[in-house]
């Protein structure tokens, strides 16, 4: 795959979100999971081609680990949530 997955943190008055754009289709299931600093899974969602949003409004930690798993790549990223 030559196209990259785009990950953005979005803060708005209607909530906080992680936006994940996946530019390619896959026959295999794609997942995104949020983990705390101890490695415990806080939230796991199924992803699809195109735009995906994960609500993080109720997560009260300063940072979170995001793992995006597709058939073509796995992305691990630490996101700072506090301003």
> 35-53: b or e for each residue (b if 16 or more CB lie within 10 Å)?
beeeeeeeeeeebeeeebe
pTM equals 0.87
Break the chain into its structural domains and give their ranges.
Answer: 6-80
Per-residue pLDDT band for 56 (boundaries 50, 70, 90) equals: very high
Angle at 9 between CA 72 and CA 68, to 5 degrees: 20
Give the CA distances from residue 76 to residues 13, 44, 50, 68, in Å, rounded to whole numbers and listed in that order: 27, 14, 19, 7
Tokens 């199924």 belong to: 46
Tokens of 64: 């979170």
SS3 24: coil
pLDDT digits (tens, 9 = 90+) for 61-81: 889 999 999 998 999 999 998
Q: Which fold has domain 6-80?
A: Immunoglobulin-like (2.60.40)
């Amino acid at each position: 795959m030559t196209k990259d997955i785009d990950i953005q943190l979005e803060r708005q008055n209607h909530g906080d979100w992680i936006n994940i754009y996946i530019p390619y289709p896959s026959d295999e299931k794609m997942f995104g999971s949020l983990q705390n600093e101890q490695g415990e899974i806080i939230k796991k969602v199924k992803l699809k081609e195109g735009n995906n949003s994960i609500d993080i409004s109720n997560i009260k930690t300063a940072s979170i680990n995001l793992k995006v798993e597709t058939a073509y790549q796995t992305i691990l990223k630490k996101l700072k949530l506090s301003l």
